[in-house]
Amino acid sequence: MKNVSSVVLLALATFSCQQVKVDNNHQQPTKQIKNIIMVVADGMGPAYTSAYRYYNDDPNTPTIEQTVFDRHLVGSASTYPAPISGYITDSAAAATALATGVKTYNDAIGVDVNKKPVETVLEWAKLQGKKTGIVVTSQIIHATPASYLAHNESRRNYNAIADSYIDNGVKADVYLGGGWKYFIRKDRNLVDEFKANGFHYVDDYNSLNTIPENTPVFGLFGKKGLPWALDDKDSNRLSTMTKAALPLLENDNGYFMLIEASQIDWGGHGRDIAAAMAEVDDLAKTLEYLESYVVKNPNTLVVVTADHSTGGLSIGRKTAKLDKSIRSSYLWQPQILRTMKNSPESIAKKLTNELLTIEQASELLNFKLTEPELTLLKAAKLKGKEIIKQFNLLSKAEKKGKWAPAKHDALLTAIKKIIDVRTNTGWGSISDSGTHTGIDVPVFAFGKQKQLFAGSIDNTDIAKNIFKLLGKK
């Protein structure tokens, strides 16, 4: 009898699980959401959010504190592009999938594999009478924002994409990010054209506090992307821009907003754990603010995911010699990351142009350098000079197709190596820079209808569900 009961209970449980799965895949939204905030954490695979949990941990408590990512994890998403590009996506194909629900080739901006424009959730929201906006830490014509706002066969057609923001109709009410280089050019001043379209222009974070009410805003705060969070005068600039943008978007019809933590990806490409953790922290502060915002505005949905993971980040290694006070031979030690006040890149540039001493380097890194580490840096500084010398000896033909080395590159590599060894951080990549990987990425959501994004889904499902919430059949 006991065995029969167990079989019955198992059958009921199986049926129940199957029923939940069917409902999750086919349910229709019971009520339209007024506001949708889509957050793309560029390059932020699962290792980044795990690393952030330990980076954010208070070492004075016995528990490891939960992060905003832990609170809102609902599932994961596959990221592969159209078959023509293989299994590993770039940011353009992934962003197009997230924006349109259509798989495409790497480099494609808002177009399908036949290079035909595909409608984005932002464009559809605008047609429904909602306000729209983008807030990013890259240039605003970079792959992710462009895939929501433009249609182009290549992400590298930067000026053409910038031009399309005016020529193909102004599609957003708020633009905040970087990109002076592409909007203030000798051949065309697009900032003036946005002003002529009624936009209030700002180029300093402090000016975000003085924007007139009910006025669209166009804000650029960097030549290309914004400075690293570690170097910017506002280390929480994504949060600052988000807080400024939300009141500008609020209206009776609601809004669709894209937020991108763009430079997590750049940290991964650079194999720079210090810069990457600061970028994730900027995103976490933004999400914590959005938590409180949703409480006050319960008709708002926030969906967060990555377009892909970058760099093959791994945290921890087996240590050959361990401290006897630590009962583990597997360690990841983020202590020095919590105290860094400058990016490795800015430190490398400064040490390249100044006398390299253990005192100077230790002050910039904000941890005490050892003599062997100083020796490594000095050797790298000399190597950097030699690399520049040899490059300059090449003929014009020999230089063609080669990247001109920066004089701080070798020193930057050495600084990141010291940080990796001290923290036990690893990077997996065949290429010299951190590559994209094909692993599934986490999905987070909070607010009404968050369950639509739960479970194991594809990146295109995110756009498809947002379209449904916006009333598209």
Q: What is the pLDDT of residue 454?
A: 98
Residue 11 has pLDDT above 50, yes or no: no
β-strands 200-202, 131-139: how paired?
A: unpaired
Active site residue 91: yes
Q: What's the burial of 250, exposed, middle or buried (CB within 10 Å: 0-12/13-18/19+)?
A: middle
Q: What is the pLDDT of residue 402?
A: 87
Nearest in space to 82 (alpha carbons), one of 72, 96, 68, 69: 96
H-type alpha helices, 232-343: 237-249, 263-269, 273-296, 335-339
Residue 97 CA to residue 91 CA, distance in Å, equals 10
**For residue 260, what are the β-bridge partners?**
40, 136
Across the range 167-185, mean pLDDT stands at: 98
Contact 436, 79 (CB under 8 A): no
CA distances for 194 relative to 166, 190, 199, 248, angstroms = 7, 6, 6, 16
**pLDDT exceeds 90 at position 84:** yes
Ramachandran bin of 240, using left for φ above 0, alpha for ψ from -120 to 50, beta for the remaining angles: alpha
Q: Are 230 and 272 in contact (CB under 8 A)?
A: no
Mark 113-122 as b/e (b = at least 16 C-beta within 10 Å). beeeebbbbb
- Give the separation between CA 377 and CA 362, rounded to whole angstroms: 12
Residue 171: left if φ>0, alpha if ψ -120 to 50, beta else—which one?
Answer: alpha
DSSP one-letter string for 99-127: HHS----TT-BSB-TTS-B---HHHHHHH
Q: What is the pLDDT of residue 26?
A: 40
Pairing of strands 436-437, 309-310: antiparallel
Of all residues in the chain, what percent carry a pLDDT higher than 70?
92
**What is the per-residue pLDDT for 321?**
65
pLDDT in tens, 398-430: 888 888 999 999 999 999 999 999 999 999 877
Long-range contacts of 152-160 (CB under 8 A, 24+ apart): 152/109, 152/110, 152/111, 153/107, 153/108, 153/109, 153/111, 153/115, 154/107, 154/108, 154/109, 155/90, 155/91, 155/92, 155/107, 155/108, 155/109, 156/107, 158/182, 159/185
Residue 14 clears pLDDT 60, i.e. is over it? no
Q: Give the Cα separation of 61 and 143 in Å (integer).
A: 41
pLDDT score, position 20: 33
Give the residue ranges of DSSP H helices in 329-452.
335-339, 344-353, 358-365, 371-392, 396-399, 409-423
pLDDT class of 3 with cuts at 50, 70, 90: very low
0.75 exceeded by pTM: yes
pLDDT in tens, 122-162: 999 999 999 999 999 999 999 999 999 999 999 999 999 99
- By C-alpha distance, which of 275, 29, 254 is closest to 130? 254
Q: What is the pLDDT of residue 49?
A: 98
Q: How far apart are CA 247 and CA 250, in angstroms?
A: 5
User: What would the two tokens of residue 53 be?
Assistant: 């949990």
Domains of the chain, CATH where assigned: 34-313+435-469 (3.40.720.10), 334-423 (1.10.60)
166 exposure class (CB count in 10 Å sphere: 0-12, 13-18, 19+): middle
Given 91, 147, 235, 239, the catalytic residue: 91
Alpha carbon 250 to its chain's center: 24
